[in-house]
Amino acid sequence: MNKDLVFKCGDHYFSYNISFIKEIKEWITPTVLPSTTKYIEGFINIRGEIIPVFDFMEIIKEEKQSNKKALIVVDCLNKLVAFSVFSVSDIIEYDHISNAPNNFVDGMNYINGIIENDNRSIFSINLIKLVEKVMVGE
């Protein structure tokens, strides 16, 4: 049985494996990093740690989201990073995950597969690949 944290961004549901999740916070304005590096919004302070904030929507769809209400802080690849998302829904348990259709292009690389739950199609995100991507930032 796997456990995922489900969150909403745009019209879709996504999920991270629960083992990576450090904490969920209300969205706070990060200190902007003036640079041309992609995806990074800025930095926030969580109990004395400087944590970079990335726009989840921008990584997946290459478009900035205007409606951000939550921050998901994850511990991945020995780094603490935060992703801004629209809202955090719930935690689900599942044992079946189906492959994403081949014609699903957006953010294809970061998707483990699709979980069907409660009449929702949830895109399960491969967080390691996602974090690798934002660390490079092109």
Partner 1 sequence: MRVDLYRIDKLVDLMGEILILQEEIKNSLTFNKETNCLSKLEVITQELQENIISMRAHPIDLAFQRMRKVVREAARLSNKEVDLILEGEKTSIDRSILEAIIDPLTHMVRNSVDHGIENSEIRKLNFKPIKGKIYLRAFHISGRVIIEVEDDGCGLSKSKIIKKAKNNDIITDEKNLTEMDIYNLIFSSGFSTSEAVSNLSGRGVGMDIVKREIDKVGGKISISSEENKGTKFRLSLPLTLSVMEGILLRVNSKNFIIPISDVMETFDIDYSKIIKIKDEVSIYKYRNEYVSVFNIKHLFNEGNILPRVGVCVVSEYGLKYIIAVDEIVDKNRFVIKSIEKNYKNVGGFSSSTILGDGSVSLIVDVNFFAKKIENNSKLGEYCE
CA distance 129 to 132: 5
For partner 1, the closer CB: 46 or 97:
46
Q: Does 38 bind partner 1 (CB under 8 A)?
A: no
Q: Which stretch binds partner 1 (CB under 8 A): 13-21, 48-56, 94-102, 119-127?
A: 48-56
Q: Does 64 bind partner 1 (CB under 8 A)?
A: no
Q: Does 31 bind partner 1 (CB under 8 A)?
A: yes
18: phi then psi, degrees, rounded to nearest 5: -65, -25
Burial of 12 (0-12, 13-18, 19+ CB in 10 A): middle
Which residue of 49, 63, 106, 118 would you call a contact of partner 1, by CB under 8 A? 49
Minimum distance of partner 1 from residue 107's CB (angstroms): 21
The single-letter DSSP state of residue 67 is: -
| CB-CB neighbours of 114 under 10 Å | 20
Residue 87: closest CA among 113, 60, 67: 67
Total residues binding partner 1 (CB under 8 A):
22
Which residue of 81, 85, 122, 125 would you call a contact of partner 1, by CB under 8 A? 81
Chain positions 93 to 132 lying near partner 1, rule: CB under 8 A, are none
Residues found near partner 1 in the complex (CB under 8 A): 30-35, 37, 40, 42-45, 48-52, 79-81, 135, 137
